[in-house]
Amino acid sequence: MQTIAVYCGSKKGRNPIYAAMAKEVGETFVQRGLNLVYGGGDVGLMGIVAKTALTGGAHVTGVITEFLKAREGHYDLSESIVVDTMHERKTIMADRADGFLILPGGYGTMDEFMEIITWRQLGLHDKPIAVLNTNGYYTHLAQQLDYMVEEGFLFKKHRKLAKFSDDLNELLDWMLRAIEQSKGIEK
């Protein structure tokens, strides 16, 4: 069974489409038999994804810092890991994940995405990174990455390290194929 790290907002956003998408992600994890590792919060999109997956019977691991636990922690997970620093949190999530799914979010989500894709660029992991572009949320980010290539700050091969799509199942299919290939699993 594969474990996917989900990076997403601690807020729901203004448009209800984001909460609906987060619920769909949790339901899809259950349907596909995927495990979830995430930031451990009970708020925003991450709370919706976790609650939905957990209610459906998925194994959900939350990794949260001590200082965030009282403010946004989820207490009824399959597994809860409390750490001292954000660096520990991100490292544990990355170590436990077979792939990474980025949903809409704010600074924290951008930090997690940029760090995990930088680690991939540096060869620190070879796990797939998928960006769910719900409601065009990440269209401008994709354009920025293209501009970075155009201006000579990013190689084309590194631009391709993350797959962008508004289709959750397409992204998960792509991720699972990449995971199987990296582990030498034949279907």
CA 106 vs CA 16, 65, 137: distances in Å: 16, 18, 11
pLDDT of residue 185: 57
Relative orientation angle of helices 107-121 and 86-96, to the nearest 10 degrees: 60
pLDDT in tens, 146-166: 999 999 999 999 999 999 999
Q: What is the CATH number of domain 3-180?
A: 3.40.50.450
Mean pLDDT of the chain: 95
Domain locations along the chain: 3-180
**Sorting pLDDT into bands at 50, 70 and 90, what band is 187?**
very low
- 55-97: pLDDT as tens digits: 999 999 999 999 898 888 767 899 999 999 999 999 999 999 9
Mean pLDDT of 114-133: 97
Q: What is the pTM of this model?
A: 0.95
